[in-house]
Structure 1
Amino acid sequence: MSNKPKFKLEEVRNIFYTYSGKASEIIRNLSLAGIAIVWILKTDDTQEIPQTLIYPLISFVLSLLFDLIQYLFGGVFWHYKTRDLERDDSVNPDSIDIDTDLVDNFTYVCMILKLIFMIVGHVLIMRHMVLILFPNI
């Protein structure tokens, strides 16, 4: 006999939504923090950003862009899907069968891309800091 807990599909979905929503929030905050770090690491009072900080900045902006695309795509998809279902009189509101593969896969790819760009941005900032601290490397 197994002591593993049993879950309903709705519970599993809610767990996924909780963790993916929190991950998105953390990635967003780390990307914004990365942009702030780039701003702080500017070496002089001019508005120019050093060349070694341009790529991290672009990575953080891309991370935030994919965050926006993820939620916009999902929101637009569900808006139109809801409108179509509301207009269809043959739909049973208690039992709706919706193929969500497109939106699920697309938003998942956006989540992975924003994570990758955020990590790349922070790695490039660390590289910049190493080059400043140890210029002979």
Structure 2
Amino acid sequence: MKLSEIRKAYEDLSGKLSDVNRQLAFAGIGIIWIFKISDSNSTSIPNELYTPLLALIISLSIDLLQYLIQTFTWYFYYLYKQKQGYREEEETNEPEYFNCIPWLFLLFKVVALITAYIYMFEYLRKILFH
């Protein structure tokens, strides 16, 4: 397997992981919404679900930050290379550290999602088997 194929594989898989993470975060919010408590004047969720809701919101926020930072990083790198005289079709090598922060964001948003689901499973276990 060529090195370029390996890079394409992990880029495709990390993009898919981000997509799945985002879908599961929204699904988790939907699951929490199912357990909402409504009375005539207000709607609330059980106290045990605030922590997973916060973790899901953190996961989605990190997702947004990851793509925001990547977008600006690549845009400013493009402008930098353009000012150096590079042409559109010319090859350039990006610095190795460009992918470090996005990988950390990917890790943190997945950890936040897993944390949320652990708390939700614990809540469901408690109400189903109590």
Answer yes or no: is 1:133 the counterpart of 2:128.
yes
Which of the residues 84, 91, 108 maps onto 2:103? 108
Amino acid at match of 1:54: Y
Deviation at 1:132? 1.2
The answer as to 2:128 corresponding to 1:118 is no
Give the alignment of 1:1-137 within 5 angstroms: 6-7=1-2, 9-45=3-39, 46-89=42-85, 91=86, 94-101=90-97, 103-135=98-130
**How far does the alpha carbon of each residue in 1:12-59 deviate from its partner, in whole angstroms, 9 at most, with x for none?**
221111111101100110011000001011133432121100000001
- Between the two proteins, the alignment pairs up a number of residues equal to 127
Runs of 4+ in 1 over 2 A off after TM superposition: 43-46, 91-95
Select the structure that is richer in helix: 2
* Bigger Rg, structure 1 or 2: 1
For the residues of structure 1 that align with 2:37 and 2:126, how far apart are their CA atoms? 13
Aligned CA-pair RMSD: 1.5
Which consecutive residues of structure 2, in runs of 5 or more, have no partner in the other structure? Answer: none
What is the TM-score of this pair, normalised by structure 1?
0.85
Identity %: 28
TM-score in terms of structure 2 length: 0.89
The amino acid that maps onto 2:37 is T
In the superposition, relative to structure 1, how do residues 71 and 32 fare at CA in structure 2: closer, same or farther (>3 Å)? same
